[in-house]
Structure formats: structure tokens, C-alpha cells
Amino acid sequence: MKKTIVITSMALCLSFVTVNAKVSSSFSNSFIETIIPKVSPFCISIAKGDIETVKKLIELGSDVNQKSNGMTPIMYAAKFNRTDILKLLISKGAKLNMKSDTGKTALDYAKLHKATDAAVILEDALSKD
């Protein structure tokens, strides 16, 4: 009889604990915010190849050497092989030897992403400096 009472009381305690258990469903959005890199509209326009928007943003005062997500605009142009934009940025005074947060130059990005046309333009511009 004692065994039955002990087993019943243990089962009752366990069922009482599981009934009162709460599941927390409040997750913080800060984790998601830290993963998503923030790229400037200027650099997004460069990556997309939207030269008209790039020209307009330069007219409005966008800095051609301002880093966005660790890279300068000329690095984005080199990475995505945007030759027209690359020439425009060079003509507007983009610094060719600046390094990204990972230590790469625009020419490094062009070679890394096999953007051969961009690499040729950058090598030509660097030889003139």
C-alpha cells in the first residue's frame, strides 16, 4: 500500500509541474538586427549597376570614399564589374589604394570575383598615379 501511495504522489507532483510549466515565446529582434549588414543606398545603387542614381547621389554630395559595410564604393563597383560606374568614381576622386575592413583593395575585389574588365581599368588607373 505504501508503494502505491508513493508512486501516486510522485505522479501527481510530476503532472502538477508540467501543467504549470510556461513556454517563453518572446524572442529578441536584436539578434536579427546584428546579422543583417547595413549597406548605404549609394553602394546598393553601384552593386545594381544603376549609374543614373549613382550620378544623382554624387551630385547630391555622396562621398565617393565613404565606407559602407567595410567597403568603399569603388570596391563595390570592382566586385560587381560595373565598369561605367568604376570610371565615374575614378573621375570623381575615388581613392584606389584604400583598404576594406578585411584589408583588401578594389583591385583585390576585382580579381577575387573575376571581374576582369574592372581589374584592367583599375590597373590602368593605378599605373597613372
Could you list the pLDDT tens digit for every one of the 129 residues in the chain? 656 665 666 555 555 544 444 555 555 555 555 555 688 899 999 999 999 999 999 999 999 999 999 999 999 999 999 999 999 999 999 999 999 999 999 999 999 999 999 999 999 999 987
Indicate the fold that domain 38-128 takes in CATH.
1.25.40
Three-state SS letters, the chain: CHHHHHHHHHHHHHHHHHHHCCCCCCCCCHHHHHHCCCCCHHHHHHHHCCHHHHHHHHHCCCCCCCCECCECHHHHHHHCCCHHHHHHHHHCCCCCCCCCCCCCCHHHHHHHCCCHHHHHHHHHHHHHC
pTM of the prediction?
0.71
